[in-house]
Structure 1
């Protein structure tokens, strides 16, 4: 047990965290984007297979037994060419036109034209391909049969040719418009979310500025008066004990003012992490100025901890020591900090106070332990506080070192 205000350090000095696994996170699962891309790839293959099967079925159902061999060859070539429709859309249209003109590959030509229009939109290649598909529906092979048709049949075939060539292009343009609309809706959603976040940041910044003004104008003023009065008492008092107490009050007031200035600067900045905050390496100085018999034990190596965890350890010890002074009459206190590869644990335990009513005159809102519990929850830690069997009080907080939010 150390003297009042004097810490006793045991174990290794504040050092490096063993294994250097502070920022080591578990392996991430397959990202959603990669999973969607994988599913999209198989869906594309399914569509390609379906297109070939439907085109082949269309040819098979329309086969004429007395047809020539080249009719079969051109129709089969048109169906097989659909396999390459995504890589060479215009070439595939050119390959399907003979099968449509002299065979039965009408659906294959329409599918190829739709793919071309989907990829190229309204370009020269699309217009040429649409004209070829229209001509294949309008013209009848062989040419002698085409000449023998009535003029009304030619008009009818021309109209149906417009439908056969125009429907794939219209569907492709509709799909493209739907995709663009979905992209714009997604961009709008992202923009609205960004505006919501910016608005929340603005509201939070206003609140932080208001709190900073209140702390600077009210709390800092009162603490400054305490420090001034303590300094005057130290000079005017004749009793050495009174001078010592006044000196302790003045030192604590000065330190409180420094911490208030840091906190005010944090509240006035956009990101509070920009300002230096006390951490686990400042525990010896904190214990030295606690004004109560305190033993500090740091086991294992704890250097290089994430800033949020290091600051949480410091604030936990600080609040626990404050409670010991207020409610336990400055009873002897033991502080233990232990780190492993998985977690860091800080325990502050004081013995039973000599006078159970020693802290009755100090005001307490009961918010200190609540704040420590909330701070631990933000870092996915576990908080425990309660009386010991010997009549003392124990505060214990365990922080995981592998959690993403602690890096």
Structure 2
């Protein structure tokens, strides 16, 4: 059993900017300020006034005016060090403002009055200048800390703004590149496929024999389906959409991996392929990403087999083994395609399959067989599909 410790509630530290270190510093400063008063003997009115004013130093960050109001009590007692702390706090919290100057003049005047003791060794000028000079040091330190924190905050905000602008520019660049790719696909690929579909349709009307008509109709049907899938892909590229949660582009299915692959095999067989599907009647229901990966891997493997081993027997096996969905596509040695009829390839088929499988945490093994054929084996994790029905 795992126990989780609750996070400490630091709302009570809001007066110290939710930092325990600041509270510890204020307690230490208060303790240091009280040491001269504790060294005196007996209890006097000056000592009582000093002790009454002392707690205001603990809340000086939240209420800097409160210890400032208590400055007369500090000056009446042993208040040189507390008044220096008050001057630093006021300058640190308020910055270079008129009220900071008024607070400094008030503290300096009270300090001069409370420490006035004209003796034979100290002149009047010394009595008037030395206490304000001592108080000017913490004021300058407070102003410097105020300016430093302001500069740090400005630099942090500038860094955040630069990061936001960088992300925005990256998103714009990605969107522009997606639109450019969509335009190229529409202008080049869609045009070529549309031409194939139109030519196949014309051939099916004017063909002299039934076999030619059937072949032309298959080409037209495949071209029309390719245009449908291409249109969906263009919508994804142009409108920055995500792939559907379930199903595969252009493949009507009842929601099972077996139905997707069976539909693919039927199309290839209709086009003249020698393909055999071996799969149990029931396979586990998996997530949409796994279904798409299985379909695309099988599709690419069949395409490669048709290009490199035409008319060879191709076996597709689907199985639920070792807690994984296993897909194996193997073909035998095929005959050579006549010169001039070779189908050009992009060279990225295996790379695309590996990326698809890796995205769903699967594994892919490809390579030639001992009989001279080729084998593609992919293993996919059985990630269940998310049910859309309420529990």
TM-score above 0.5, yes or no: yes
Q: State the distance in 2 between where 1:327 and 1:381 align.
A: 29
The answer for unaligned runs of 5 or more in structure 2 is 270-274, 385-391
Q: State the distance in 2 between where 1:133 and 1:273 align.
A: 66
Residues 312-359 of structure 1: per-residue CA shift (max 9 Å, x gap): 44433432333343345351312457998xxxx554312442637579
Describe the shift of the 1:109–1:234 C-alpha distance in structure 2 as closer, same or farther (beyond 3 A). Answer: same
Q: State the distance in 2 between where 1:316 and 1:153 align.
A: 97
> Residue 43 of structure 1 is aligned with which of 6, 18, 21?
21
Q: State the distance in 2 between where 1:82 and 1:400 align.
A: 64
Q: Name the structure 1 match of 2:329.
A: 350
Describe the shift of the 1:350–1:372 C-alpha distance in structure 2 as closer, same or farther (beyond 3 A). Answer: closer
Describe the shift of the 1:389–1:160 C-alpha distance in structure 2 as closer, same or farther (beyond 3 A). Answer: farther
Q: State the distance in 2 between where 1:380 and 1:56 align.
A: 67
Q: Name the structure 1 match of 2:128.
A: 158
Q: State the distance in 2 between where 1:287 and 1:349 align.
A: 14
Describe the shift of the 1:125–1:91 C-alpha distance in structure 2 as closer, same or farther (beyond 3 A). Answer: farther
CA contact (8 A) 1:382 1:398 kept: yes
Q: State the distance in 1 between where 2:195 and 2:354 align.
A: 32
Instruction: Calculate the aligned-residue CA RMSD, in Å.
Output: 4.3
Q: Name the structure 2 match of 1:92.
A: 67
2:113 maps to 1:133: no
Q: What count of residue pairs does the alignment treat as equivalent?
A: 353
- CA deviation after TM superposition for structure 1 residue 401, in Å: 5.7
> Residue 44 of structure 2 is aligned with which of 31, 51, 69?
69
CA contact (8 A) 1:78 1:109 kept: no
Residues 184-240 of structure 1: per-residue CA shift (max 9 Å, x gap): 222222222232233333333333333223222222222223223333443444554
Q: State the distance in 2 between where 1:324 and 1:261 align.
A: 27
The answer for unaligned runs of 5 or more in structure 1 is 1-26, 403-407
Q: State the distance in 2 between where 1:365 and 1:97 align.
A: 87
2:209 maps to 1:244: no
- CA deviation after TM superposition for structure 1 residue 70, in Å: 3.8
Describe the shift of the 1:180–1:215 C-alpha distance in structure 2 as closer, same or farther (beyond 3 A). Answer: same
> Residue 113 of structure 1 is aligned with which of 75, 87, 93?
87
Describe the shift of the 1:87–1:212 C-alpha distance in structure 2 as closer, same or farther (beyond 3 A). Answer: closer
After superposition, residues 284-295 of structure 1 pair within 5 angstroms as: 285-291=263-269, 292-295=275-278
2:235 maps to 1:265: yes
> Residue 385 of structure 1 is aligned with which of 365, 370, 375?
365
Q: Name the structure 2 match of 1:369.
A: 350
Structure number with the bigger relative contact order (C-alpha 8 A, sep ≥ 6) is 1
| TM-score, normalising length: structure 2 | 0.71
Describe the shift of the 1:83–1:196 C-alpha distance in structure 2 as closer, same or farther (beyond 3 A). Answer: closer
| TM-score, normalising length: structure 1 | 0.69
Q: Name the structure 1 match of 2:190.
A: 220
